[in-house]
């Protein structure tokens, strides 16, 4: 589901700080919630960049 309710479709390539998306990053990257939020803040909304940022840490 899109982050913006006005948009249709999915946006799997993007990530936001919504709780379910942070929980997904925590589970898949096996990091703490704090680290996941830091990665989103530092790497931006691209899921690929967030996962890359976490892989480097």
Q: Is 25 inside a domain boundary?
A: yes
Q: Is 6 inside a domain boundary?
A: no
Q: Give me the domain span that covers residue 51.
A: 19-56
Which DSSP string do the residues of 12-29 spell out, in sequence order? TTB--S-HHHHHHHHHHH
Q: What digits encode the pLDDT tens for the residues 7-57? A: 666 677 888 899 999 999 999 999 999 999 999 999 999 999 999 999 997
Q: Is 11 inside a domain boundary?
A: no
φ/ψ of 46, rounded to 5, equals -80, 120
Q: Per the structure, how many domains does the chain have?
A: 1
pTM: 0.77
Q: Is 39 inside a domain boundary?
A: yes
């Amino acid at each position: 589901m899109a982050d913006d309710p006005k948009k249709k479709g999915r946006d799997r390539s993007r990530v936001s700080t919504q709780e379910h998306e942070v929980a997904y990053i925590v589970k898949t990257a096996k990091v703490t919630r704090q680290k996941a939020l830091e990665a989103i803040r530092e790497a931006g909304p691209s899921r690929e960049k967030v996962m890359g940022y976490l892989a480097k840490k």
